[in-house]
Amino acid sequence: MKLSNILPNNLSNWFIWFLFLYLTLIISLIYGENSTGGAIIDYINQKKVSIDFANSFKKTLLSYEEYSTRHSPILIIFLSIFEKFNLSDFVIRFLHMNLSLFLPIFFYFALKTKFKSENKAILFFISSLIFFSPTFRSLSVWPDSRLFGLTFFTLSIIYYLKFDQQNRIKYCYLNIIACAISSYISPNFAVFSLYFFYKYFLAYKNDYNKIFKIIILNFLLSVPALYYVFYLDIQFFAHEYTKENSRIFFDNIFNSILLTFSLIFFYLIPFWIFKVIKFELKFSLFNILITLFIFIPCLFFFNYQYSYSGGGIFFKLSYFLFQNNILFHIISLISIFVTINLLNGKFANYLIVFLLLINNPQISIYHKYFDPLLLIIFFTIFTLKFDLKKVLYNYNYLSIYLFFLSFLILNNLKFLWKI
């Protein structure tokens, strides 16, 4: 059986599958799916702020750092418009859930832009994996800034891919604007502007006029944020981490390195196994030394505590099975080595991994920060070799679906076991 027989290049069949996935979101809305664990609590906390914005916009905006939130106020302000009209909480969440559908739609168009000649059924299959994301499902029914930030970031990727193919400056400007919007909604995405600037610098390294315009546009778009944070001193993102009374910013970069590499490996597994993403493990001296150079200091200084919560699936699995980090460290070593091989010595790939490491500088690192972000960037801005037709071979697509569905089910069941 081939995927093309289930999802042929027929819009009506695609619509039926999309409608089915949409109905599963309706069920999540009705039953209040909370597969990330903290979605409900975060929403309840930010809803109080949203009501305050509706009642007293200026006062709330200028005292925003007094609220116990590290989320950007942009989405909360947007939701406060619905509060102004006294819409019920269910209606507000329903509207947000429908707006969240732009994420898988944008992901599909990003894939379509990059893989123009590929079977559309394959591209639709990959983009539909978003619906199996615990983060997407939870944050679509319990509004959170990260999902909208990721949506606009995906839109910025579409414009970047168009620029990469056509080298038209308008797509460069549209990419910068979309990336800026994503950063205002969720500041974590701001670091990826460095990747795009690097690419534009390579494209226009001999055209100083265009480079200057790109720099100016980036600066002008950042002025409101700089004014709000530094001049008005509304530094909401530096709110203390209450569990450990610690700063939000890196207390231990080595924690972040091991956890990030393990999560990259997790999302790589099904596509590597079925050779959808093509690369070979090379046990060269360079790859071994780089792996050990990264792993050994991290092993020595790693001190991520289970009490922080988060840590990702392999960190939690290690504690669940053995009550220690041994399994996690073994997987981390494998993850680093496999990722080094995946990056294939390309600077742009190393840059993306570096940006992934620094885009969440807080002490606690949650799986949701990388879900479904890694899935999206694997197939769009990473420089990798693909054989998307492997998705159609045998029952590979069912196995990939099962992989992500199992993760979704596990995320819902783990709260019954209090893992």
In a domain, 157, yes or no: no
Tell me how far apart the alpha carbons of residues 75 and 65 are, in angstroms, rounded to a whole number: 15
**For residue range 358-392, what is the model confidence (pLDDT) as tens digits?**
888 777 788 888 989 999 999 999 999 999 989 87
In a domain, 118, yes or no: no
Q: Residue 413: its pLDDT value, please?
A: 77
Query: Residue 236: pLDDT above 80?
Result: no
Pick 341 or 4 by higher pLDDT. Answer: 341
Query: Beta strands 277-278 and 385-386: pairing type?
Result: antiparallel
Q: What is residue 373's DSSP assignment?
A: H
Q: Residue 11: its pLDDT value, please?
A: 53
Confidence of residue 4 (pLDDT cuts 50, 70, 90): very low
Confidence of residue 415 (pLDDT cuts 50, 70, 90): low
Tell me how far apart the alpha carbons of residues 386 and 417 are, in angstroms, rounded to a whole number: 38
- pTM score of the predicted model: 0.91
Tell me how far apart the alpha carbons of residues 413 and 406 are, in angstroms, rounded to a whole number: 10
Which among 366, 378, 248, 375 is positioned nearest to 315, based on CA atoms?
Answer: 366
CA 44 vs CA 40, 49, 89, 116, 275: distances in Å: 6, 9, 11, 43, 43
In a domain, 292, yes or no: yes
Q: Residue 241: its pLDDT value, please?
A: 45
In a domain, 10, yes or no: no
Number of domains in the chain: 1
Q: Residue 250: its pLDDT value, please?
A: 53
CA 174 to chain centre: 20
Ranges 43-52, 169-178, 306-315, 399-408: which has the least confidence: 306-315
Query: Residue 247: pLDDT above 50?
Result: no
Residues 6+ apart with CB under 8 A from 6: 13, 121
Q: What is residue 238's DSSP assignment?
A: G
In a domain, 21, yes or no: no
- What amino acid occupies position 238? A
Instruction: Provide the 3-class DSSP secondary structure of residue 149.
Output: helix
In a domain, 153, yes or no: no
In a domain, 359, yes or no: yes
Share of the chain above pLDDT 90, in %: 49
Q: Residue 102: its pLDDT value, please?
A: 95
In a domain, 14, yes or no: no
Which residue has tokens 């639709």? 124
Domain containing 307 equals 253-388
**Which of 75-84, 178-187, 305-314 holds the top average pLDDT?**
178-187
Residues 6+ apart with CB under 8 A from 380: 110, 111, 114, 154, 157, 161
Residues 6+ apart with CB under 8 A from 218: 176, 180, 193, 197
